[in-house]
Chain A
Amino acid sequence: MSRSSDDNNNISSRGEEFLQIFKKGADFTHELLKENERLRYRMLKLEESIALPDDDEADVSHEAMQLRLKIEELEKEKEEILGRVRKVEEENEDFANRYVEIEEENNMLANLYIASFQLHSTLDFKEVLQIILEIVINLIGAEEFGVLLLDEKTNKLEPVASEGVSTSALPSIPVGQGIIGEATESGENYFIDSMTGYQRDFEKPLVCIPLKIKEHVIGVVVIYKLLVQKDEFNSVDYELFTLLAGHAATAVFSSRLYSDSERKLSTIQGFIDLLTK
Protein backbone atom coordinates (compact mmCIF):
# COMPACT_ATOMS: atom_id res chain seq x y z
CA MET A 1 0.00 0.00 0.00
CA SER A 2 2.65 2.42 0.88
CA ARG A 3 4.54 1.41 -2.23
CA SER A 4 1.60 2.37 -4.44
CA SER A 5 1.22 5.72 -2.65
CA ASP A 6 4.91 6.41 -3.24
CA ASP A 7 4.41 5.59 -6.89
CA ASN A 8 1.42 7.94 -7.05
CA ASN A 9 3.42 10.70 -5.42
CA ASN A 10 6.23 10.11 -7.86
CA ILE A 11 3.89 10.20 -10.81
CA SER A 12 2.23 13.44 -9.58
CA SER A 13 5.61 15.12 -9.01
CA ARG A 14 6.76 14.08 -12.48
CA GLY A 15 3.47 15.32 -13.87
CA GLU A 16 4.04 18.63 -12.15
CA GLU A 17 7.57 18.72 -13.49
CA PHE A 18 6.20 18.07 -16.94
CA LEU A 19 3.64 20.80 -16.46
CA GLN A 20 6.38 23.13 -15.34
CA ILE A 21 8.44 22.28 -18.42
CA PHE A 22 5.35 22.66 -20.63
CA LYS A 23 4.64 26.04 -19.03
CA LYS A 24 8.20 27.09 -19.61
CA GLY A 25 7.92 25.93 -23.23
CA ALA A 26 4.69 27.89 -23.56
CA ASP A 27 6.35 30.99 -22.05
CA PHE A 28 9.30 30.57 -24.34
CA THR A 29 7.06 30.21 -27.34
CA HIS A 30 5.16 33.25 -26.26
CA GLU A 31 8.41 35.17 -25.86
CA LEU A 32 9.53 33.99 -29.27
CA LEU A 33 6.33 35.22 -30.84
CA LYS A 34 6.77 38.55 -29.11
CA GLU A 35 10.36 38.79 -30.29
CA ASN A 36 9.24 37.84 -33.74
CA GLU A 37 6.65 40.57 -33.71
CA ARG A 38 9.19 43.07 -32.42
CA LEU A 39 11.67 42.09 -35.10
CA ARG A 40 9.06 42.33 -37.82
CA TYR A 41 8.18 45.76 -36.57
CA ARG A 42 11.84 46.68 -36.56
CA MET A 43 12.21 45.33 -40.06
CA LEU A 44 9.29 47.37 -41.24
CA LYS A 45 10.81 50.46 -39.68
CA LEU A 46 14.12 49.69 -41.31
CA GLU A 47 12.44 49.14 -44.64
CA GLU A 48 10.75 52.49 -44.26
CA SER A 49 14.02 54.17 -43.37
CA ILE A 50 15.63 52.49 -46.40
CA ALA A 51 12.79 53.57 -48.66
CA LEU A 52 13.28 57.26 -47.71
CA PRO A 53 16.88 57.56 -49.05
CA ASP A 54 15.61 56.39 -52.47
CA ASP A 55 13.69 59.63 -52.82
CA ASP A 56 16.70 61.65 -51.60
CA GLU A 57 18.90 59.89 -54.11
CA ALA A 58 16.48 60.80 -56.84
CA ASP A 59 16.63 64.40 -55.68
CA VAL A 60 20.42 64.32 -55.53
CA SER A 61 20.78 62.74 -58.95
CA HIS A 62 18.35 65.29 -60.39
CA GLU A 63 20.38 68.09 -58.82
CA ALA A 64 23.60 66.52 -60.11
CA MET A 65 22.11 66.29 -63.56
CA GLN A 66 21.14 69.93 -63.45
CA LEU A 67 24.59 70.86 -62.23
CA ARG A 68 26.16 68.79 -64.98
CA LEU A 69 24.02 70.58 -67.55
CA LYS A 70 24.97 73.89 -66.02
CA ILE A 71 28.64 72.94 -66.18
CA GLU A 72 28.28 71.92 -69.81
CA GLU A 73 26.53 75.18 -70.54
CA LEU A 74 29.26 77.14 -68.76
CA GLU A 75 31.95 75.14 -70.55
CA LYS A 76 30.29 76.00 -73.86
CA GLU A 77 30.08 79.64 -72.84
CA LYS A 78 33.73 79.56 -71.78
CA GLU A 79 34.73 78.08 -75.13
CA GLU A 80 32.66 80.69 -76.91
CA ILE A 81 34.27 83.50 -74.88
CA LEU A 82 37.74 82.06 -75.44
CA GLY A 83 36.93 81.83 -79.14
CA ARG A 84 35.83 85.44 -79.12
CA VAL A 85 38.97 86.48 -77.22
CA ARG A 86 41.09 84.62 -79.78
CA LYS A 87 39.20 86.33 -82.58
CA VAL A 88 39.66 89.75 -80.94
CA GLU A 89 43.36 89.02 -80.46
CA GLU A 90 43.67 88.04 -84.12
CA GLU A 91 41.79 91.18 -85.09
CA ASN A 92 44.08 93.22 -82.84
CA GLU A 93 47.10 91.72 -84.53
CA ASP A 94 45.56 92.44 -87.92
CA PHE A 95 44.85 96.01 -86.88
CA ALA A 96 48.40 96.42 -85.56
CA ASN A 97 49.84 95.11 -88.82
CA ARG A 98 47.45 97.24 -90.82
CA TYR A 99 48.43 100.26 -88.68
CA VAL A 100 52.10 99.68 -89.48
CA GLU A 101 51.27 99.28 -93.18
CA ILE A 102 49.17 102.44 -93.20
CA GLU A 103 51.87 104.28 -91.28
CA GLU A 104 54.43 103.21 -93.88
CA GLU A 105 52.10 104.17 -96.72
CA ASN A 106 51.36 107.46 -95.00
CA ASN A 107 55.09 108.13 -94.67
CA MET A 108 55.64 107.23 -98.29
CA LEU A 109 52.83 109.53 -99.43
CA ALA A 110 54.16 112.33 -97.24
CA ASN A 111 57.62 111.84 -98.74
CA LEU A 112 56.17 111.74 -102.22
CA TYR A 113 54.17 114.87 -101.54
CA ILE A 114 57.32 116.72 -100.45
CA ALA A 115 59.25 115.33 -103.41
CA SER A 116 56.61 116.40 -105.96
CA PHE A 117 56.16 119.73 -104.18
CA GLN A 118 59.89 120.36 -104.46
CA LEU A 119 60.01 119.18 -108.08
CA HIS A 120 57.26 121.59 -109.09
CA SER A 121 58.51 124.44 -106.91
CA THR A 122 60.81 125.76 -109.62
CA LEU A 123 61.03 126.22 -113.38
CA ASP A 124 64.80 126.33 -113.32
CA PHE A 125 66.02 123.30 -115.25
CA LYS A 126 69.26 122.90 -113.25
CA GLU A 127 67.39 123.23 -110.00
CA VAL A 128 64.93 120.53 -111.07
CA LEU A 129 67.83 118.21 -111.88
CA GLN A 130 69.37 118.94 -108.47
CA ILE A 131 66.06 118.11 -106.76
CA ILE A 132 65.88 114.82 -108.67
CA LEU A 133 69.38 113.95 -107.44
CA GLU A 134 68.45 114.81 -103.84
CA ILE A 135 65.31 112.71 -104.00
CA VAL A 136 67.13 109.68 -105.39
CA ILE A 137 69.83 109.95 -102.69
CA ASN A 138 67.56 110.68 -99.74
CA LEU A 139 64.45 108.68 -100.56
CA ILE A 140 65.76 105.81 -102.67
CA GLY A 141 69.20 105.54 -101.08
CA ALA A 142 71.33 105.49 -104.24
CA GLU A 143 75.02 106.35 -104.12
CA GLU A 144 76.01 106.25 -107.80
CA PHE A 145 73.47 107.17 -110.43
CA GLY A 146 72.76 109.44 -113.38
CA VAL A 147 69.96 111.23 -115.23
CA LEU A 148 69.87 110.89 -119.00
CA LEU A 149 67.49 112.88 -121.18
CA LEU A 150 66.30 112.08 -124.67
CA ASP A 151 67.59 114.26 -127.49
CA GLU A 152 64.77 113.95 -130.01
CA LYS A 153 66.97 115.15 -132.89
CA THR A 154 69.51 112.35 -132.50
CA ASN A 155 67.14 109.90 -130.77
CA LYS A 156 69.82 109.33 -128.16
CA LEU A 157 69.82 109.57 -124.37
CA GLU A 158 72.36 112.15 -123.19
CA PRO A 159 73.65 112.37 -119.59
CA VAL A 160 72.69 115.65 -117.91
CA ALA A 161 73.29 115.07 -114.18
CA SER A 162 74.86 112.48 -111.89
CA GLU A 163 75.89 111.66 -108.34
CA GLY A 164 78.86 109.54 -107.29
CA VAL A 165 80.09 109.28 -110.88
CA SER A 166 81.15 111.96 -113.35
CA THR A 167 78.41 113.03 -115.78
CA SER A 168 80.94 113.06 -118.61
CA ALA A 169 81.79 109.42 -117.86
CA LEU A 170 78.23 108.34 -118.60
CA PRO A 171 77.66 107.21 -122.20
CA SER A 172 75.19 108.49 -124.82
CA ILE A 173 72.79 105.69 -125.51
CA PRO A 174 70.70 105.26 -128.66
CA VAL A 175 67.05 104.41 -128.06
CA GLY A 176 66.46 100.67 -128.33
CA GLN A 177 70.08 99.75 -127.64
CA GLY A 178 71.02 97.75 -124.58
CA ILE A 179 69.15 97.69 -121.26
CA ILE A 180 68.81 101.48 -120.99
CA GLY A 181 67.81 101.96 -124.65
CA GLU A 182 65.24 99.17 -124.45
CA ALA A 183 63.73 100.54 -121.24
CA THR A 184 63.42 103.92 -122.98
CA GLU A 185 61.71 102.33 -125.96
CA SER A 186 59.32 100.17 -123.93
CA GLY A 187 58.74 102.64 -121.10
CA GLU A 188 59.04 99.76 -118.62
CA ASN A 189 61.09 99.97 -115.41
CA TYR A 190 64.14 97.70 -115.36
CA PHE A 191 65.49 96.04 -112.19
CA ILE A 192 68.47 93.69 -112.17
CA ASP A 193 67.59 90.11 -111.13
CA SER A 194 70.22 89.86 -108.42
CA MET A 195 72.41 92.56 -106.93
CA THR A 196 74.99 90.15 -105.52
CA GLY A 197 78.31 90.30 -107.32
CA TYR A 198 77.21 93.23 -109.47
CA GLN A 199 80.08 95.14 -111.07
CA ARG A 200 79.35 98.64 -112.25
CA ASP A 201 78.76 98.84 -115.98
CA PHE A 202 77.43 102.14 -117.32
CA GLU A 203 75.37 100.33 -119.95
CA LYS A 204 74.05 97.69 -117.53
CA PRO A 205 72.68 99.48 -114.48
CA LEU A 206 71.06 98.00 -111.37
CA VAL A 207 67.92 99.97 -112.11
CA CYS A 208 66.64 101.99 -115.04
CA ILE A 209 63.52 104.10 -114.56
CA PRO A 210 62.05 105.83 -117.62
CA LEU A 211 60.79 109.36 -116.99
CA LYS A 212 57.39 109.34 -118.66
CA ILE A 213 54.69 111.85 -119.43
CA LYS A 214 51.77 109.56 -120.20
CA GLU A 215 53.40 107.12 -122.67
CA HIS A 216 56.05 109.55 -123.89
CA VAL A 217 59.51 108.84 -122.43
CA ILE A 218 61.66 111.96 -122.06
CA GLY A 219 64.61 110.41 -120.25
CA VAL A 220 65.76 107.89 -117.66
CA VAL A 221 67.23 107.63 -114.17
CA VAL A 222 69.90 104.93 -114.03
CA ILE A 223 71.26 103.61 -110.73
CA TYR A 224 74.63 101.88 -110.47
CA LYS A 225 75.19 101.61 -106.74
CA LEU A 226 73.13 101.84 -103.56
CA LEU A 227 74.25 103.25 -100.21
CA VAL A 228 76.20 100.78 -98.03
CA GLN A 229 73.30 100.45 -95.58
CA LYS A 230 70.79 99.74 -98.35
CA ASP A 231 71.25 96.23 -99.68
CA GLU A 232 67.99 95.77 -101.54
CA PHE A 233 64.84 97.50 -102.72
CA ASN A 234 61.60 97.12 -100.81
CA SER A 235 58.01 97.34 -102.05
CA VAL A 236 57.79 101.04 -101.14
CA ASP A 237 60.77 101.77 -103.39
CA TYR A 238 59.05 100.29 -106.45
CA GLU A 239 55.98 102.45 -105.85
CA LEU A 240 58.18 105.45 -105.21
CA PHE A 241 60.10 104.88 -108.46
CA THR A 242 56.94 104.76 -110.53
CA LEU A 243 55.26 107.73 -108.89
CA LEU A 244 58.46 109.74 -108.87
CA ALA A 245 59.17 109.06 -112.53
CA GLY A 246 55.94 110.82 -113.53
CA HIS A 247 56.51 113.88 -111.35
CA ALA A 248 60.18 114.16 -112.28
CA ALA A 249 59.31 113.88 -115.98
CA THR A 250 56.76 116.71 -115.97
CA ALA A 251 59.07 118.88 -113.86
CA VAL A 252 62.00 118.29 -116.25
CA PHE A 253 59.80 118.79 -119.33
CA SER A 254 58.19 122.03 -118.15
CA SER A 255 61.43 123.53 -116.83
CA ARG A 256 63.22 122.69 -120.09
CA LEU A 257 60.37 124.19 -122.08
CA TYR A 258 60.48 127.28 -119.88
CA SER A 259 64.26 127.60 -120.24
CA ASP A 260 63.97 127.22 -124.02
CA SER A 261 61.22 129.83 -124.26
CA GLU A 262 63.23 132.19 -122.05
CA ARG A 263 66.24 131.73 -124.30
CA LYS A 264 64.12 132.26 -127.43
CA LEU A 265 62.50 135.29 -125.86
CA SER A 266 65.85 136.91 -125.12
CA THR A 267 67.03 136.13 -128.67
CA ILE A 268 63.91 137.70 -130.18
CA GLN A 269 64.24 140.61 -127.79
CA GLY A 270 67.83 141.03 -128.97
CA PHE A 271 66.68 141.08 -132.61
CA ILE A 272 63.93 143.58 -131.86
CA ASP A 273 66.40 145.79 -129.99
CA LEU A 274 68.79 145.55 -132.92
CA LEU A 275 66.08 146.43 -135.44
CA THR A 276 64.61 149.30 -133.46
CA LYS A 277 67.93 150.97 -132.65
Chain B
Amino acid sequence: MDVYKVLVVEDSPTMRQLIVFALKRIRGLRIIEANDGVDGLKKLSSDTFDLILTDINMPIMDGLKLVSMVRNNPKYKEVPIVVITTEGAVEDRERALALGANEYITKPIQTTQILDAVKRLLSL
Protein backbone atom coordinates (compact mmCIF):
# COMPACT_ATOMS: atom_id res chain seq x y z
CA MET B 1 0.00 0.00 0.00
CA ASP B 2 1.27 3.47 -0.89
CA VAL B 3 2.10 5.75 2.00
CA TYR B 4 1.33 9.43 1.54
CA LYS B 5 3.08 11.99 3.69
CA VAL B 6 0.88 14.79 4.96
CA LEU B 7 2.10 17.94 6.69
CA VAL B 8 -0.31 19.58 9.16
CA VAL B 9 0.62 23.19 9.95
CA GLU B 10 -1.45 24.57 12.83
CA ASP B 11 -0.46 26.62 15.89
CA SER B 12 -3.33 25.51 18.12
CA PRO B 13 -2.47 22.13 19.68
CA THR B 14 -6.16 21.33 20.13
CA MET B 15 -6.97 22.04 16.52
CA ARG B 16 -3.87 20.19 15.36
CA GLN B 17 -4.90 17.16 17.41
CA LEU B 18 -8.40 17.30 15.94
CA ILE B 19 -7.03 17.31 12.39
CA VAL B 20 -4.46 14.59 13.05
CA PHE B 21 -7.03 12.40 14.80
CA ALA B 22 -9.37 12.79 11.84
CA LEU B 23 -6.65 12.05 9.27
CA LYS B 24 -5.64 8.89 11.11
CA ARG B 25 -8.91 7.40 9.93
CA ILE B 26 -7.53 7.31 6.39
CA ARG B 27 -5.24 4.34 5.91
CA GLY B 28 -1.88 4.89 4.30
CA LEU B 29 -1.18 8.39 5.61
CA ARG B 30 1.91 9.43 7.52
CA ILE B 31 1.20 12.65 9.33
CA ILE B 32 3.86 15.18 10.34
CA GLU B 33 2.95 18.17 12.51
CA ALA B 34 4.27 21.72 12.44
CA ASN B 35 3.51 24.55 14.93
CA ASP B 36 3.58 27.46 12.49
CA GLY B 37 4.61 28.52 9.00
CA VAL B 38 8.32 28.63 9.74
CA ASP B 39 8.27 25.21 11.37
CA GLY B 40 6.29 24.01 8.35
CA LEU B 41 8.90 25.34 5.91
CA LYS B 42 11.68 23.65 7.90
CA LYS B 43 9.90 20.32 7.69
CA LEU B 44 9.17 20.81 3.99
CA SER B 45 12.85 21.40 3.27
CA SER B 46 13.98 18.29 5.14
CA ASP B 47 11.38 15.89 3.78
CA THR B 48 9.04 15.26 0.86
CA PHE B 49 5.28 15.61 1.27
CA ASP B 50 2.26 14.65 -0.82
CA LEU B 51 -0.20 17.04 0.80
CA ILE B 52 -0.13 20.11 3.05
CA LEU B 53 -2.91 21.22 5.42
CA THR B 54 -2.47 24.65 6.92
CA ASP B 55 -4.21 27.21 9.09
CA ILE B 56 -4.06 30.89 8.12
CA ASN B 57 -3.83 32.79 11.40
CA MET B 58 -0.55 31.70 12.96
CA PRO B 59 2.28 33.51 14.73
CA ILE B 60 5.70 34.08 13.11
CA MET B 61 4.51 33.15 9.60
CA ASP B 62 0.87 32.91 8.57
CA GLY B 63 -0.65 30.28 6.32
CA LEU B 64 -1.01 32.51 3.25
CA LYS B 65 2.70 33.35 3.30
CA LEU B 66 3.42 29.65 3.62
CA VAL B 67 1.15 28.82 0.64
CA SER B 68 2.88 31.46 -1.47
CA MET B 69 6.38 30.22 -0.52
CA VAL B 70 5.45 26.59 -1.16
CA ARG B 71 4.08 27.45 -4.59
CA ASN B 72 7.31 29.29 -5.47
CA ASN B 73 9.35 26.23 -4.57
CA PRO B 74 9.73 24.00 -7.67
CA LYS B 75 9.84 20.91 -5.41
CA TYR B 76 6.32 21.61 -4.10
CA LYS B 77 4.80 23.43 -7.05
CA GLU B 78 2.31 20.64 -7.67
CA VAL B 79 1.68 19.49 -4.08
CA PRO B 80 -1.96 19.99 -3.09
CA ILE B 81 -2.59 22.49 -0.28
CA VAL B 82 -5.68 22.56 1.93
CA VAL B 83 -6.33 25.71 3.93
CA ILE B 84 -8.39 25.31 7.12
CA THR B 85 -9.34 28.61 8.66
CA THR B 86 -11.82 30.70 10.64
CA GLU B 87 -11.76 33.35 7.89
CA GLY B 88 -15.01 32.78 6.06
CA ALA B 89 -15.18 35.90 3.88
CA VAL B 90 -15.26 35.40 0.09
CA GLU B 91 -12.22 37.65 -0.45
CA ASP B 92 -10.15 35.52 1.99
CA ARG B 93 -11.08 32.39 0.08
CA GLU B 94 -10.29 33.99 -3.28
CA ARG B 95 -6.96 35.27 -2.00
CA ALA B 96 -5.91 31.84 -0.72
CA LEU B 97 -6.98 30.10 -3.93
CA ALA B 98 -5.23 32.74 -6.03
CA LEU B 99 -2.02 32.13 -4.10
CA GLY B 100 -2.22 28.45 -4.97
CA ALA B 101 -4.33 26.68 -2.35
CA ASN B 102 -6.37 23.78 -3.77
CA GLU B 103 -9.08 23.66 -1.10
CA TYR B 104 -10.41 26.23 1.34
CA ILE B 105 -12.22 24.84 4.38
CA THR B 106 -13.71 27.07 7.04
CA LYS B 107 -14.06 26.39 10.75
CA PRO B 108 -15.82 25.19 12.85
CA ILE B 109 -14.03 22.02 11.95
CA GLN B 110 -16.10 19.45 10.07
CA THR B 111 -14.18 16.21 9.93
CA THR B 112 -15.99 14.83 6.88
CA GLN B 113 -15.14 17.96 4.87
CA ILE B 114 -11.43 17.55 5.66
CA LEU B 115 -11.44 13.81 4.97
CA ASP B 116 -13.29 14.27 1.66
CA ALA B 117 -10.84 16.95 0.52
CA VAL B 118 -7.78 14.85 1.45
CA LYS B 119 -9.16 11.73 -0.25
CA ARG B 120 -10.03 13.69 -3.37
CA LEU B 121 -6.66 15.42 -3.63
CA LEU B 122 -4.72 12.21 -3.04
CA SER B 123 -7.10 10.22 -5.26
CA LEU B 124 -7.78 7.72 -2.49
Contact = CB atoms under 8 A, between A and B. Distances in A.
A131 interface: yes
Contacts of A134: 12-15
Contacts of B122: none
B14 A107 contact: no
Interface in B1-24: 12-15, 17-18, 21-22
Nearest to B12: A134
A118 B13 contact: yes
Interface of B: 12-15, 17-18, 21-22, 86, 88-89, 106-112
Nearest to B24: A110
Secondary structure at chain A's binding surface: helix, strand, loop or mixed? helix
B88 A227 contact: yes
A138 B14 contact: yes
21 contacts: A107-B112, A110-B21, A110-B22, A111-B111, A113-B21, A114-B14, A114-B18, A114-B21, A115-B18, A118-B13, A118-B14, A135-B14, A137-B107, A138-B12, A138-B108, A138-B109, A143-B86, A227-B106, A227-B107, A228-B88, A228-B89
A100 to B, nearest CB: 9
Interface in A68-115: 103-104, 107, 110-111, 113-115
Contacts of B14: 114-115, 118, 131, 134-135, 138
Interface residues of A, number: 23
Nearest to A230: B108
A143 B14 CA distance: 17
A25 B112 CA distance: 116
Nearest to B90: A228
Contacts of A110: 18, 21-22, 111
Contacts of A159: none
